[in-house]
């Protein structure tokens, strides 16, 4: 997750950085934060080849968050994300 943090801090338009951080957060059970990262990846490259995959990953992450009862992230949990 820290690698993804660093990548998006250096270049907030780096789609793969958002995807990698999202994948790391999925593995750590941070589903809502992961969904935000996948959504940001789509926003960075809406015409890109990874859009459908990112959208599906975001949906999966939100479904897992609801299933696990995960609360929405706090504003501090969104540190490093552009507004």
pLDDT for res 69? 82
Angstrom distance (rounded) from CA 31 to CA 70:
8
pLDDT tens string for the chain (83 positions)? 888 899 999 999 999 999 999 999 989 989 889 899 989 998 998 888 887 888 888 888 888 888 888 766 554 444 444 43
For 33, other C-beta atoms within 10 Å of its C-beta total: 23
Determine contact, residues 42/35, Cβ cutoff 8 Å: no
- For the chain, report the end-to-end CA distance as a whole number of angstroms: 19
pTM over 0.75: no
Number of H helices, E strands in the chain: 4, 0
Tokens of residue 66, six digits: 């609801």
């Amino acid at each position: 997750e820290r690698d993804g943090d660093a990548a998006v801090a250096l270049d907030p338009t780096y789609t793969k950085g958002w995807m990698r951080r999202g994948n790391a957060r999925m593995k750590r059970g941070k589903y809502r934060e992961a969904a935000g990262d996948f959504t940001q990846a789509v926003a960075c490259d809406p015409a890109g080849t990874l859009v459908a995959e990112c959208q599906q990953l975001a949906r999966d992450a939100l479904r897992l968050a609801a299933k696990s009862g995960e609360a929405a992230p706090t504003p501090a949990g969104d540190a490093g994300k552009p507004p």
